[in-house]
Amino acid sequence: MAMFDRDLDDGTVHIHYEESGSGFPVLLIAPGGLRSAITAWRNAPWNPIDQLAPHYRAIAMDQRNAGSSTGPITAADGWHTYTADQLALLDHLGVDRFHVLGMCIGGAYMLSLLRTAPERVVSAVFLQPIGLEGNRDTFRDLFGGWATEIRDTHPEAVDADLAGLCEHLYGGDDVLFSASTAQVATMTNPMLVLMGDDLYHPQVASRTLAATAPNATLIERWKDPADQPAARAAVEEFLAKHTPA
């Protein structure tokens, strides 16, 4: 099991990651909410590790406190905390510029990456990004379930720490959670958005992202078996088009 340790003032972060294939790097950010782990790709419409490893250096990771990754929890944590982990892992692996593909909560993580290090992200593929549309309590309930699961292994995380993290993740009014539409409008990186259409991934999130980002393209149908071949081909064409020579 490949692990990367990151020492911080409030403790050590242990990040589990896996690499497959070779070539230009693609960071893969799995679905599953705060349980975003490599194994979650097994339940996706298709597994991007299997799809991309023949042509790219696919880098998959368990996010902090998901799967086999662990890290401290403080009231100051938020999207930026996970972004720092992701960039630190890439630095550890000697990766400067990269594609990124994420699903579900991966969309919010990716927008935080684009806010923080836009010069490093060559292109981004969003699969049904999460969004805010009358569903805030749903996300708070999901957070509460996750917090209950990890509580015994995090004695340092008092109620105020967990409340702070939840507020920083899901307490704002931005439809895309980690970036405002004004911030998205400044993101010139090429983006491909495969639309969500359910409680956690409302259409408005995908449509807002695709309509606001200057270089974004929206694919509305991609999950049904009949639509998957064309969608996979579109992802492959998009990444190939934007891969540096």
Please state the pTM of the whole predicted model. Answer: 0.96
Q: For residue 57, give Cα distances in angstroms to 126, 144, 195.
A: 18, 35, 25
- pLDDT higher than threshold 90 for residue 152: no
CATH no. of 2-242: 3.40.50.1820
Q: What is the pLDDT of residues 223-235, one digit of tens each?
A: 999 999 999 999 9
Between helices 159-170 and 136-150, what is the axis angle to 10°?
140
Instruction: Report the candidate in 120, 126, 94, 116 with the shortest Cα–Cα distance to residue 28.
Output: 126
Whether residue 157 contacts residue 164, with contact meaning beta carbons closer than 8 Å, is answered with no
Q: pLDDT (tens digit, 9 = 90+) per residue, 109-120?
A: 999 999 999 999
Residue 137 C-beta-side C-alpha neighbours within 13 Å: 1
Separation of alpha carbons 112 and 93, rounded Å: 20
pLDDT digits (tens, 9 = 90+) for 195-241: 999 999 999 999 999 999 999 999 999 999 999 999 999 999 999 99
pLDDT given at position 10: 86
Task: Give pLDDT, residue 187.
Answer: 98
Integer Cα distance of 201 and 168 in angstroms: 19
Q: Name the residue ranges covered by the structural domains of the chain.
A: 2-242
